[in-house]
Amino acid sequence: MYASFKSIGAYIPEKVLTNEELEKMVDTSDEWIIKRTGIKERHIADDSELTSDMGVKAGELAIKRAGLQKSDIDAVICATISPDHFCMPSTANLISHKLGLNPVTSFDISAACTGFIYALNIAKSFVESGSFKNVLIVGAEKLSSIVDYTDRTTCILFGDGAGAAVIGATDKKEDAVIDVHTGADGSYSDYLITPGGGSAEPCSLETIENRRHYMKMQGNATFKVAVKTLTKDVIDILGKNEIDPKDIKHFIPHQANYRIIKAVGDALKLDSEQVVLTVHKYGNTSSASIPMAMNDLYESGKLKNGELMLLDAFGGGLTWGSALIPFAGK
Ligand code: ACO
């Protein structure tokens, strides 16, 4: 049995936060943000809109587009660094409940911006081993809840949203996910970190006053590792599977920074039509960024059955991952 990528769905919250609005909140400029990141605006969830709510909306679309009933889903994996609740219950559990899927296996994983590729790798293994037939994978983030809007080095980067896909069993080899790579290096763990609120620094008045429960990033150091790691990872996966970069129809990288995406695309000598870009309108939505970009492509009619996609991500941990997938949706 093979695992196929059956469908894609996403949810983008309505409210838009522009660079001009950020200029009024911190010492920054539209010009600096565009030049350094390519980001023009990002979407922000309402106070009442939870990570799980966005995951539900993306998941509903993915199930419908896979031509399945909710009862066909056997497991839900949610990749998130902004879960509804700290520790428990898992956001995947809440998504399953709100979708009316119970009882199914559901759990969260934490691999920051690489989360969707980690979830894909786990779902692929579940399906190939015969444990489950259809797994819903979700990348959902309400990053606005862990972003410090007084810190100009991070608050200009992040946005909210969700994306989801169904990974299902097939006996058609041409539909099978070709390969997924995942990796991590904890020696860089302080490059991207939410220091407070965990067992290392349990929540206290002091951690809150010192804003320790917000994301902190060593941006420039992370940038350098990101370019190197992302490039090496895609060269490795293409080489291992003997695929020429020119045969990739859609390169869908994590949308953190236009300059990082351009550097990796240039290293592979990709044409601009091969590279999917949404960073200008959504910013960095961590685990949701790749499925949101893929959904944009799908909804614009540019993602067709059988077309080869190359995914590439990098994030806090540090973590990284890549995947080679023929789109098996309709
Ligand atoms: N507006 C204006 N100036 C700013 C801003 C801002 N918003 N932020 C920083 N600056 C200043 C800095 O203080 C610094 O000033 P100085 O030269 O006087 O010291 C200057 O701009 C340059 O700062 P750098 O940090 O060196 O800028 P850089 O070109 O590296 O861009 C950025 C910063 C956009 C964060 C970039 O480093 C980046 O994209 N890093 C990688 C992010 C990433 O991929 N993260 C992984 C995924 S995220 C996840 O997993 C959750």
Q: Which ligand 1 atom minimizes the distance to the CA of 26? A: 7
pLDDT, residue 139, reads 98
Q: How far is CA 19 from the centre of its chain?
A: 22
Copy the structure tokens of residue 116.
Answer: 């969707």
| CA-nearest residue, atom 36 of ligand 1 | 219
Q: Which of 274, 277, 276 is nearest to 247 (CA)?
A: 274
CA distance 6 to 176: 10
Cβ neighbourhood burial of 276 (10 Å; 0-12, 13-18, 19+): buried
Residue 14 phi/psi, 5-degree rounding, is: -70, -40
Q: Got the DSSP string for 174-199?
A: GGB--EEEEEE-GGGGGGEE--SSSS
Q: How many helices (H) and strands (E) does the chain have?
A: 11, 13
Copy the structure tokens of residue 43.
Answer: 């979407």
Ligand 1 in reach of 219 Cβ (< 6 A): yes
157 C-alpha vs ligand 1 centroid, how far in Å?
9
Pick the CATH number of 179-326 from 3.30.2130.10, 2.40.50.1020, 3.40.47.10, 3.90.220.20: 3.40.47.10
pLDDT, residue 102, reads 80
* Mutate which of 30, 32, 36, 286 for ligand 1 pocket (most atoms within 8 A of beta carbon): 36
pLDDT, residue 262, reads 96
315 C-alpha vs ligand 1 centroid, how far in Å?
15
260 C-alpha vs ligand 1 centroid, how far in Å?
12
pLDDT, residue 233, reads 95
Please compute the mean of the pLDDT values over residues 54-78 and round it to a whole number. 98
Q: Which of 190, 187, 193, 199 is nearest to 212 (CA)?
A: 193
pLDDT, residue 129, reads 98
CA distances from 258 to 14, 145, 236, 261 (A): 23, 24, 22, 5
CA distances from 228 to 158, 264, 301, 306, 309 (A): 22, 8, 32, 30, 21
Sequence-separated (6 or more) residues with CB below 8 Å from residue 69: 63
* Mutate which of 223, 231, 233, 261 for ligand 1 pocket (most atoms within 8 A of beta carbon): 223
| Three-state DSSP class for residue 150 | coil
Give tens-digit pLDDT for 101-126: 989 999 999 999 999 999 999 999 99
User: Which residues participate in catalysis according to the annotation?
Assistant: 113, 254, 284
Give tens-digit pLDDT for 185-241: 999 999 999 999 999 999 999 999 999 999 999 999 999 999 999 999 999 999 999
Give tens-digit pLDDT for 149-186: 999 999 999 999 999 999 999 999 999 999 999 999 99
Cβ contact 77:26 at 8 Å: no
Question: pTM (2 decimals)?
Answer: 0.97
Fold annotation for 2-171 = Peroxisomal Thiolase; Chain A, domain 1 (3.40.47)
CA distance 177 to 131: 17
Please compute the mean of the pLDDT values over residues 295-321 and round it to a whole number. 97
Cβ contact 59:76 at 8 Å: yes
Q: Which ligand 1 atom minimizes the distance to the CA of 316? A: 50
The mean pLDDT of the chain is 97
pLDDT, residue 93, reads 98
Range(s) within the chain of domains with CATH label 3.40.47.10: 2-171, 179-326
Copy the structure tokens of residue 97.
Answer: 């409940």
Ligand 1 in reach of 229 Cβ (< 6 A): no
pLDDT, residue 261, reads 97
| CA-nearest residue, atom 11 of ligand 1 | 153
Cβ contact 322:311 at 8 Å: yes
